[in-house]
Amino acid sequence: MTYNECMDFIGSYSRLGGKITDLSRAQELMEHIGNPEKKLKFVHIAGTNGKGSTLEYIANALQYSGYMTGKFTSPYVTHYTDRIRINDSEIDEESLGEICEFVASNVSDRKYSQFEITMAIALLWYVREQCDVVVLETGIGGLLDSTNVIPPPLLSVITSVSLDHTDILGDTVEKIAEQKAGIIKSSSAVVLAKDNAEVTVEVVKSACEEKGAEFIELESCIPYADGGIISPFIYKNEKYVPSMLGIHQYYNAQTAITACVYLRSKGFDVTDEAIKRSIEKTFVKARQQYIDGEPPIIVDGGHNISGIGMLINALRYLSTRNKKIYAVTGMVDSKDYIQCLKNLSVHIDKLFAVDNFAVNCVSAETITDIAGFYTEAEACENISKAVEKAKALALENNGVVVICGSLYLASEYLNMICKKNKVENH
């Protein structure tokens, strides 16, 4: 198959597939393609926020220690293959075509999801390339997520848990935590991020007791005094300076450090040097991504109340440094966009609203109607025009441009500047 034929095949499935009540559909898919999940070792990651960053910290530490490390993330940020990687390399088009053709010739006519088909392709590639370990991120939830067909992993990791996908996972943090804790398996272990509510801790500990899994306690993490938008911290008497922005990164990093130390007991020689290098060098697109320039730009794909809250922490810090904030904002209607806008808008000096970046995006006029109660807001015809206006104001007023509200919007912006750079470099 060519790349386009692969995309057509994957796109022929729906985003969520048919309704599921158990893992039988994903298990059947694995059986049809030879059960690649049984030939791999995994670190399995679930959570509402922080999964992507934590995955990169763990995977990069393994990579820097010399291990062939598979990375499976959800969703892709700028293009399909950036979610299926080994070390620093995405799946190549030739391998994608060959594996996709194999999957297509072996699947049944069941209503699989695009995610399930993508996972099948990824696992087959990891087996083909003889990965030492795969760091695997769930799609939605955990208990009924198709990634949960894997055998007991080396380690389960649960990051920050909060309200999101409430129509699927439940309308309380406790219910959502129960879904995330569904990745915990017998004769395994779990690391739980420190920035979780007590109810989540109780749910996870209860699941560990029920399944005979080890609950790994995290030590206290101390924010370093010279913090700010970059959040240095001290953990186990060692100072770390994450390259990614946001106070929440020291929680993600602390979780990853603990996970890496635990993996030593499973035979992986993850060095202290590799762990520190990973924390201080890892960079993830669209996670409070800082693009230096005149003016500076922050691109953030946080799209739920908790994710927006993490961005707000950075905006507060910038305000204390007399920086004006000019936001280009778009949101989708599957999230609590009204509350997100209320929380965000009070920290913005002017907001430029955009739409047409996703099939279910909220109209720019609706965004301005809501945000207009809290700050100056203007609807724009497209993202390019909105960024142009925001940058002009930021240049005039010692400001920062923030692209935020949806990962789809962040992706569109990053692709837009990538295309622009390619044109300029010709």
Mean pLDDT score, 411-421: 86
Helices 249-263 and 272-281, packing angle to 10 deg: 160
pTM: 0.92
- d(CA 176, CA 173) in angstroms, rounded, equals 5
Q: What is the pLDDT of residue 410?
A: 94
Could you count the other beta carbons within 10 Å of the beta carbon of residue 222? 13
pLDDT, tens digit, for every residue of 115-151?
999 999 999 999 999 999 999 999 988 999 999 999 9
- d(CA 405, CA 332) in angstroms, rounded, equals 8
How is residue 232 written in tokens?
Answer: 């240095």
Mean pLDDT score, 63-68: 98
Whether the pLDDT of residue 30 is over 80: the answer is yes
Q: Are 262 and 254 in contact (CB under 8 A)?
A: no
Q: What is the pLDDT of residue 425?
A: 46
- d(CA 224, CA 216) in angstroms, rounded, equals 24
Q: What is the pLDDT of residue 164?
A: 64
140 against 401, higher pLDDT: 401
Q: What is the pLDDT of residue 422?
A: 57
Helices 198-211 and 173-180, packing angle to 10 deg: 30
pLDDT, tens digit, for every residue of 242-261?
888 877 788 899 999 999 99
